[in-house]
Structure 1
């Protein structure tokens, strides 16, 4: 069996916001086998993307932030992260900015670890993952509607928090997993 491809043939804009854009697209589906083309409808959330960072202190602690997430109705423990401000902004610049804004630290070394899609069944959001080391004190400057606590954990404690479902944020779990092979070297 071949993998099909889909091409947008009609788009209806539902909502254009500051963070995301929602469309309902009519798509043409090619079954990849030379068969008849079919059509279907796709509801899509478009997003500029984001960056997430595993910051590691000189003594090997991982800095996490605890903040309330309205959509989940829960205070969540997460890696520092934030959205790419505009189409075309470099993920590297976004990661450096968000690290300092949320934690008050700058990274002497920032290693790109790859990226993940949050929910590719309906959203194009891509989160770029980083590991930040050789941290130097900068200045925390949260947005006026942003409130969070900084918490410090060993890698083993983070693993336990994931296993016990204290950490349930997908970007945090993915980013921590990608950083694991580097954390033992600290």
Structure 2
């Protein structure tokens, strides 16, 4: 199988956090043209914070897309200033939870939806995460932080209490360790 050839690309809309493009492609196998819409967005980071006692730090927050309060692991956009996924994980962990860790390990990465999104989401394990009491929420964030035992966390995923796909993927990699 060969990659398709990009014949052209046009910006449809630019929303600062992401852009939509119409991409004209040539299927090189069938020699046929197709049009796709692609969302270009920055890479993301999700963090699995583990306390010295072995509990996992989770957050609750409102999500406009599903109009629900969700339970997730901390995460966010990898900023241009972040020198690595681990650096972004360190920053996001403290901003959203007031926990810090210097023991960061990359667990893996996924493409959230390669059918129309261009980005990668990295998963980082933050061991010995300790609360400092200094959150730095973005203006649109309203977050509650709590700790949970690993077995209770597995049940929350199994029963659907946790449905955020990227959180579930990160925890899948974490529990494989």
TM-score if structure 2 supplies the norm length? 0.93
RMSD: 1.5
The residue aligned with 1:171 is 166
The residue aligned with 1:90 is 84
d(CA) in 1 for partners of 2:131, 2:142: 19
d(CA) in 1 for partners of 2:169, 2:152: 16
Cα distance, 1:89 vs structure 2: 4.8
Please list, as runs of the form range in 1=range in 2, the aligned pairs for 1:34-183 lying within 5 A after superposition: 36-86=30-80, 89-138=83-132, 139-182=134-177
The residue aligned with 2:16 is 18
CA contact 1:48–1:87 (8 Å) conserved in 2 = no
CA contact 1:80–1:103 (8 Å) conserved in 2 = yes
CA contact 2:86–2:105 (8 Å) conserved in 1 = no
CA contact 1:108–1:136 (8 Å) conserved in 2 = no
Q: Which runs of 5+ in 1 are unaligned?
A: none
Q: Secondary structure at the match of 1:97?
A: helix
d(CA) in 2 for partners of 1:126, 1:21: 15
Q: Secondary structure at the match of 1:157?
A: helix
